[in-house]
Amino acid sequence: MDGPRQILVYGYGNPGRQDDGLGSALINRLESWAKKEGIGGIDFDSNYQLNIEDAEIISRYDVVIFVDASTENIPDFILTPVSGEKDVSFTTHAASPGYIVKLCGELFDKFPEVHLFHIKGYEWEFKEGLSPEAELNLTKSLEFIKGFLTKACGR
């Protein structure tokens, strides 16, 4: 490996649907942390959903962490690996992380290390702002992901 690893943390979800905005909220906090600590080599981005064009974006990175709110029965947060061989779905409205990874490999012959960071959400109404429970999960998950990113960028 030549030089430091290039890392992308990409949150997605709709901040106008309460806890669905957890991905964007984490990105905002991580950007502030990285700037304050002078941590380079990590890029941050967010969007309402993943799109097929994101395959080209992730092809530029060594490590990619997608961040999304979860409706599943999970702990407060969980980090799972993503490959292009599972969770491969696409609709006209959204693409799964697995589908983006699959396209990245097929179209660009690039195979970054990809993870999905799920943060448990509770409320999904058309309303801005996180529920108190999701806010607590966001705070807990922030400390975990800071540690992961610090190790990933070799600090």
Per-residue pLDDT at 142: 96
Q: Is residue 54 part of a domain?
A: yes
The mean-pLDDT minimum among 61-65, 67-71, 87-91, 92-96 falls in: 87-91
Question: Residue range 38-56: average pLDDT?
Answer: 94
- Is residue 136 in a domain? yes
* Cβ atoms of 75 and 136 closer than 8 Å: no
Confidence of residue 9 (pLDDT cuts 50, 70, 90): very high
68 sits in which H/E element: strand 63-70
User: Residue 50: pLDDT band by 50, 70, 90 thresholds?
Assistant: very high
The answer to whether residue 48 sits within a structural domain is yes
Number of domains in the chain: 1
pLDDT number for residue 92 = 46
Indicate whether 58 belongs to any domain. Answer: yes
Question: Does any domain span residue 14?
Answer: yes
Please give the residue range of the domain that contains residue 18. 7-152
Pull the structure tokens for residue 14: 């709709």
CA count, 13 A, side-chain hemisphere, 11: 23
pLDDT band at 65 (very low <50, low <70, confident <90, very high): very high
Q: What is the pLDDT of residue 154?
A: 75
Q: Is residue 1 part of a domain?
A: no
Q: What is the pLDDT of residue 95?
A: 86
The CATH number assigned to the domain holding 128 equals 3.40.50.1450
Q: Name the packing angle between helices 132-152 and 22-37 (round to 10°).
A: 50
Please report the pLDDT score of residue 87 as a whole number.
Answer: 53
Q: Kindly state whether residue 79 falls inside one of the protein's structural domains.
A: yes
Domain presence at residue 2: no
| pLDDT reading at 72 higher than 60 | yes
Quick one: pLDDT at residue 24?
96
Confidence of residue 21 (pLDDT cuts 50, 70, 90): very high
Tens of pLDDT along 74-123? 999 999 999 876 555 555 457 899 999 999 999 999 999 999 999 999 99
Amino acid, res. 121: G
pLDDT reading at 151 higher than 80? yes
